[in-house]
Amino acid sequence: MSKVKLNVLGISYSQTQTGAYALVLAEEDGKRRIPIIVGGFEAQAIAIQLEGLKPPRPLTHDLFFNFARTFEIEIVEVTIHKLEEGVFHSKLTCNDGKKLIDIDTRTSDAIALALRFKCPIYTTSEIIDRAGIVLDFEQESGEYNEEENAPAKDVEIQSDVDEKNISSLNITDLNQLLQQAIKDEDYEKASMIRDEMKRRKQS
């Protein structure tokens, strides 16, 4: 069965499940997308890596990365190999310099680690045929919406806790607020601030 390479397209707040997020994976050589619902912690681990944020202390996935690198273990690739009752099952293919070993993992953890190890993400042609959503490229200008099947172009993790009117702040204040959010390990707020800064650069 042929493998299909995937890229991480983005994350958006789930429209149907409170406290959950929609991770969208994109077929590299095609138009199909795979939306996967992940929890807040896993979404945070993925988002801060995509955003290039540096936490003051290593998160769990950073600890795994540092531990593996210390003992010269690399993750060669991540494969989403099974879809059963709506749940995606994945595995890590690891190399210790002597042999390849496959390790079962949750898909959200697999993606978070793939981003840190900068390794490719694959699925099977059967899974992309079953779970893939075909989209028109003209529609790829907005966030992913589970009801409309629209993709997420930017990482958007929103927080309903202590939201400030960041649109009224100048860029210096935004930078200070961003650094404080990172220091406080409030990565949801940090992502929201980073998105505002991106929007200003693009305008």
CA distance linking residue 185 with residue 89, whole number of Å? 30
Rg (CA), the chain: 18
- Most trustworthy range by pLDDT among 97-101, 154-158, 189-193: 97-101
pLDDT digits (tens, 9 = 90+) for 91-142: 999 999 999 999 999 999 999 999 999 999 999 999 999 998 875 543 444 4
Higher pLDDT, 163 or 86: 86
The contacts of residue 129 (CB under 8 Å, 6+ apart) are none
Rounded to an integer, the average pLDDT of 169-183 is 79
Alpha helices of 52-186 — where are they, by DSSP H? Answer: 60-70, 107-117, 125-131, 171-183
Rounded to an integer, the average pLDDT of 163-184 is 74
Q: Give the full edge-to-edge strand order of the sheet including 100-106.
A: 100-106, 87-95, 74-84, 121-124, 3-13, 20-27, 32-39, 133-134
> And the tokens for 11?
């994350």
With a threshold of 0.85, does the pTM exceed it? no
Q: How confident is the model at residue 26 (pLDDT cuts 50, 70, 90)?
A: very high
Higher pLDDT, 157 or 57: 57
Q: How confident is the model at residue 147 (pLDDT cuts 50, 70, 90)?
A: very low
Query: Whose structure tokens read 């390790």?
Result: 103
Rounded to an integer, the average pLDDT of 156-173 is 59
pLDDT digits (tens, 9 = 90+) for 29-84: 888 999 898 988 899 899 999 988 888 889 999 999 999 999 999 999 999 999 99
- Tell me which amino acid residue 166 is: I
CA distance linking residue 190 with residue 51, whole number of Å? 9
